[in-house]
Amino acid sequence: MAGLIARHPQGVGVEQLLNELGAGYSRRTLQRRLAQLLTQHRIATKGGGRALKYHIKPITAGANVTLEDATLSATASVYVPTSPEGEEVRAYVSQPIQQRRPVSYRIEFLEQYRPNRTHYLPDALRAQLRTMGRSPAVQAPAGTFARDILTRLLIDLSWASSRLEGNTYSLLDTERLIEFGEAAEGKDAFETQMILNHKAAIEYLVDDPAHAVVTPETVIALHALLSDGLMRDPMACGRIRQGPVVIGGSLYRPVALPQRLEELFGIVVEMAAEIADPFEQAFFLMVHLPYLQPFEDVNQRVSRVAANIPLIRHNLSPLSFVDVPRQAYVDGMLGVYELNRVDLLRDVFVWAYERSCQQYVAVQQQLVPPDTFRLRYRKELAHALQEIVRAGLAPDAATVADVAPGSVAADDHERFVSLVLAEVASLHEGNVVRFGLRPLELKAWRERQDYRSATPERA
């Protein structure tokens, strides 16, 4: 909601907001959301009665410099460093909507792109990003690095991507929700569901390397996971939209015909899949999935998670969007929608990736060198843990010996048993996903063990 208001520098009234939000958004819900934003001091009002308008409160940073008897003050809105081309885009989209041109989907924007011949990211920039994003797992199987930092990635990307949608969860609130299942007080169910949906979508990509590929099935699965419980029509989850859609605060009108939309969706994903460079592929998805708007809603969230597919596959640092100013991201997308220019969004992408890499440098330094024994038997380890938890078995050496797969070498058997017992002892709700288990399965297993301990054996 704050992002929608931010698109109206001159302010916007309730009636216009209702028109842009569409028929599915009630006046009562809108008024409640506006009241929350006013309480949080994220927006302000001007005028009264029917002339009342809502304005975004810019995030500002102040600095005082004292020179002998003089004091100089400076104030600036938080944004990202922009190129001259990005500044041109920003200047255009910052104009009142009445001064901008209505536009529709231009197939030429897509046709002008030639995978591996056209580049939105210049060669030198892609090389720079690769240097920044290199991880210790560069030679490991696809997805290894993402699994190593999964807990941090789940929290960061779920929080930051949701925040770009106006979600008011704090980073700490998000951490508690993801690690312990504790919903934050005072937050509505919609915001909580949005965070949990991001978690499910990220786990979908990281848990199984086969999912970390750019295919229509993967993109549709991401939409189904990210939109779960958030769509007016539940049938719209994981389905190409069946009618027109309006983008609030923009004069861009996407394709409306379902058959044409489905055809273009297939072309966009096919072109993306052909791109060899992981960063170019990631940015292409960030540009063309939202531009096409293949789904009724949640398109930008899908593009942000999908942009991580090539980074996960190539064991590069992920793109978490941490600290990305919402207005800069919104302006970058408006530049794509209304001008077919990627300059400002590219500035945001590069800054966001550099920031993400800084975040994960510290995480990398904390990583323990990989245990080659554990890596060799990772599938057997997961199988043994699943057998123990799902069958409610006792966590002892005899049980592990029984469930150990035959692929464990005889000479490694004793060490494998010790490894399984150590992993059983360290299981908790936040890490069971590594072994293909769900928190509820772990809870049921623990309850069964507690019952067994409390029940005396009969002679």
CATH code of the domain covering residue 356: 1.10.3290.10
Residues facing 252 on adjacent strands: 103
Alpha helix (H) ranges present in 211-316?
A: 216-227, 258-274, 278-292, 299-306, 309-313
Asked, for residue 65, whether it belongs to a domain, the answer is: no
Q: Please check whether residues 315 and 428 belong to one and the same domain.
A: no
Q: Please check whether residues 48 and 106 belong to one and the same domain.
A: no
Q: Please check whether residues 360 and 376 belong to one and the same domain.
A: no
Q: Which residues of the chain have pLDDT under 70?
A: 1-4, 6-7, 9, 22-25, 40-42, 57-77, 361-371, 455-459
Q: Please check whether residues 206 and 273 belong to one and the same domain.
A: yes
The C-alpha atoms of residue 239 and residue 294 are separated, in whole angstroms, by 9
Residue 31's Cβ-count burial label (10 Å; 0-12, 13-18, 19+) is exposed
Q: Please check whether residues 238 and 158 belong to one and the same domain.
A: yes
Mean pLDDT of the chain: 88
**Residue 381, domain extent:** 372-454
Asked, for residue 459, whether it belongs to a domain, the answer is: no
Q: Please check whether residues 138 and 274 belong to one and the same domain.
A: yes
**pLDDT tens-digit series, residues 287-335:** 999 999 999 999 999 999 999 999 999 999 999 999 999 999 999 999 9
Asked, for residue 71, whether it belongs to a domain, the answer is: no
Asked, for residue 79, whether it belongs to a domain, the answer is: no
Structure token pair of residue 19: 């028109």
3-state secondary structure of 65: strand
**pLDDT tens-digit series, residues 116-144:** 999 999 999 999 999 999 887 777 888 88
Q: Please check whether residues 352 and 276 belong to one and the same domain.
A: yes
pLDDT at 67 (0 to 100): 45
**pLDDT tens-digit series, residues 194-224:** 999 999 999 999 998 889 999 999 999 999 9
Of 155, 162, 133, give the one whose Cα is nearest residue 145: 133
Look at the chain and report how many structural domains it folds into.
Answer: 3
> What Cα–Cα distance (Å) separates residue 326 from each residue in 26, 66, 102, 447?
25, 32, 23, 44
Q: Please check whether residues 274 and 401 belong to one and the same domain.
A: no
Which of 316, 339, 366 is at the close of a domain? 366
Q: Please check whether residues 391 and 262 belong to one and the same domain.
A: no
Q: Please check whether residues 276 and 381 belong to one and the same domain.
A: no
Q: Please check whether residues 119 and 255 belong to one and the same domain.
A: yes
Asked, for residue 40, whether it belongs to a domain, the answer is: yes
